[in-house]
Amino acid sequence: MSGFESLLQKFGGVSDDSTELPPQQQAGGLEAFIQRHGAVSETYAFYNGTVELRFDKEEHRYYLVSDLGNLEPVDGVTTVCGIVDKSHMLVPWASKMAIQKMLRLIPTEMVEGIVRIKPLTFEEFTTLALEAKSAHKDKLDEASDTGHAAHACIEDSIKQALTTDPEQKVRTLINLPSDERAANAANSAKAWMDQHNVRWLATERKVYSKKHNFAGTLDGVAFVDSCLDRACCSEIFQGRLSLIDWKSSNSLKVDYLVQTAAYLSALLEELVEYKP
């Protein structure tokens, strides 16, 4: 079997199929420990079943099952990629968010045709300043909620296509979010799929790198064709095996390239080391 064929075999379905999971440990061993810690509930096997990871849903943390049955923490892809220093961008942005929130909150009045700040005690001003301080977190939480809702819709739609569509194409979106921004993001993803004739092989696929000891979940793997817009696709291609990661951002960031490169590195590492 060729490397390409073996890669397709690895992406033959959705990763949460219980038949793909390794057998449970004997009573009184690791499985008994897991039952006492219910959040560590998901099991994933890598490298032809020679590596086992557990996932803690509450902490969103991966654990490597050692030879002795101990659970050893494993860094996530986003944690590894987080080593890139973004402070030079985030500090000015957070300051801007705080000032904008302060201007929205501060009470004003019209005096002789001029907008003036109403008299405030120092205690009232301090309360406003402390409330404005959280503006950047409010913005991030809002963006995160929008992104999660759009992502859930896309994931559900891909899973449906994998199980019901002969060509594994997303024909329509299911569970479209009620939030307008989330719905727009999901519809944008659907438009991209249509324009590039996307045929899905897997979604929400777990990956693990033994070499660098990190794990993560890539959004999808699919066959992709080029579109007619050369600003989007500078070259013509058909059936290109592609790793796909959804983002609700308005721009392409270097972090995204680092993250997808980490996913690809882990996939190729496993494929090369355990080629059938």
Q: What is the pLDDT of residues 22-33, one digit of tens each?
A: 444 444 455 555
Is 159 among the domain residues?
yes
In a shared domain, residues 179 and 243: yes
In a shared domain, residues 21 and 130: no
In a shared domain, residues 41 and 72: yes
- Range among 75-79, 83-87, 219-223 with highest mean pLDDT value: 219-223
Please, which pLDDT band fits residue 75 given cuts at 50, 70 and 90?
confident
Residue 19, pLDDT score: 43
In a shared domain, residues 175 and 260: yes
Is 10 among the domain residues?
no
In a shared domain, residues 65 and 132: no
What is the number of domains present in the chain? 3
Is 193 among the domain residues?
yes
In a shared domain, residues 192 and 266: yes
Comparing CA positions, the residue from 201, 205, 208, 199 lying closest to residue 218 is: 205
Is 93 among the domain residues?
yes
Phi/psi at 66 (5° precision): -80, 175
**Cβ–Cβ < 8 Å for 157, 180:** no
In a shared domain, residues 172 and 231: yes
Is 170 among the domain residues?
yes
Q: What is the mean pLDDT of residues 50-71?
A: 86
Is 4 among the domain residues?
no
% of the chain at pLDDT higher than 90: 37
Please, which pLDDT band fits residue 1 given cuts at 50, 70 and 90?
low
Is 253 among the domain residues?
yes
What is the pLDDT of the chain when averaged over all its residues? 80
User: Which residue, of 44, 61, 80, is where some domain finishes?
Assistant: 80
In a shared domain, residues 32 and 98: no
In a shared domain, residues 185 and 75: no
Residue 168, pLDDT score: 96
Q: What is the pLDDT of residues 234-262, one digit of tens each?
A: 999 999 999 999 987 777 778 888 889 99
Place of tokens 């890139």: 84
In a shared domain, residues 48 and 160: no
Is 142 among the domain residues?
no
Distance CA(228)–CA(31), nearest Å, equals 53
User: Which residue, of 102, 136, 170, is where some domain finishes?
Assistant: 136
Q: What is the pLDDT of residues 117-150, one digit of tens each?
A: 888 888 888 888 888 887 766 665 555 567 788 9
User: Which residue, of 103, 136, 169, is where some domain finishes?
Assistant: 136
In a shared domain, residues 189 and 253: yes
Q: What is the pLDDT of residues 85-111, one digit of tens each?
A: 555 566 776 788 788 888 888 888 888
Q: What is the mean pLDDT of residues 17-45?
A: 55
Q: Domain residues for 124?
A: 87-136
In a shared domain, residues 62 and 101: no
